Structure 1
């Protein structure tokens, strides 16, 4: 499996980096970051890092063969661009390709409250089979700290993409 994690915006960068880091080692992984997130040198040997300005890089092409793209966090600006087909950077171009190729695209919008415009864009994307999955905690997992809350969220995202993990305690009857 080949997955890219794109970090959009400045708020919530930590969650995007943690998602990238927790991807299993058998997954070929790529990280797409913007100017505000260039502090990710600690990930140099764990995959390939692309900068959002490098629109010519592999994820911009269907022949690159991404199976999924996760935009974590997803700014409302990026979400809006994806919703209307603006492909002016590597993240939005890769998203456009993923939609065209009918692969899995997961967007994790990070802003509250949600405006009617944002909700309309999310609805439009969901009709195209884009997964809209904000980072919302499931309290039934009984998280004890922020780390467990984040693991639950990331685990739910992995579930949506068919990635095996043991990041949270599953519901049992």
Structure 2
């Protein structure tokens, strides 16, 4: 059975811990490739193990080629700058290049935009990308799973993203009708 390859990228600063937690919670059976933007690195001191890291400046990295065979990519968090570049086809760094490859190869691409409220320009870019089949999945919690802590909220978000990636998980309480 072929090992699933996933690129996890973080752009912007706020919420970088979500990208790190995705790495920590992904099953060992998944081949993980990690890219951090320069702004992400300013906020976070890296302490990663068992992960293949790539410099965002290295657009010739393996994950930048369709023939490398990445199955999916998630950018969490995704800054409005990165989202706009992807929407306009600008591939000036490894994160945007990988996203362009996902689009051209018809592979799953999930963007988790982090800024709120969304401007009309950001919404227009999200609409354009969603029309191409890109999944726009901002970090929005639901209350039915009754999270009590920040960690439970983060696990809910990551669990929902894993669902979109087709990765089985039990990171959150799923919706169920309560019997009376």
Q: TM-score, normalised by structure 2?
A: 0.93
Match of 1:14 in 2: 17
- 2-structure distance, mates of 1:171, 1:46: 33
- 2-structure distance, mates of 1:68, 1:100: 12
CA shift, 1:34, in A, is: 1.8
Tell me the C-alpha RMSD between the 2 structures: 1.0
- Please say which structure displays the higher CA radius of gyration: 2
- 2:86 pairs, out of 61, 82, 86, with 82
**SS of the counterpart of 2:47?**
helix
Say which structure is richer in helix. Answer: 1
> Over residues 95-154 of structure 1, what are the superposed CA-to-partner deviations in whole Å (9 max), with x where a residue is unaligned?
000000000000000000100000000000001110000000011100011000010000
> Over residues 1-56 of structure 1, what are the superposed CA-to-partner deviations in whole Å (9 max), with x where a residue is unaligned?
1001001111111111111211111000110012233445421x321011111111
> Paired residues, what number?
172
Match of 1:123 in 2: 127
Match of 2:106 in 1: 102
Match of 1:161 in 2: 165
- 1-structure distance, mates of 2:175, 2:16: 29
Match of 1:139 in 2: 143
Match of 1:36 in 2: 39
Q: TM-score, normalised by structure 1?
A: 0.96
Runs of 4+ in 1 over 3 A off after TM superposition: 36-41
- 2:50 pairs, out of 24, 46, 50, with 46
Q: How does 1:60-71 map to 2 (within 5 A)?
A: 60-71=64-75
- 1-structure distance, mates of 2:9, 2:140: 19
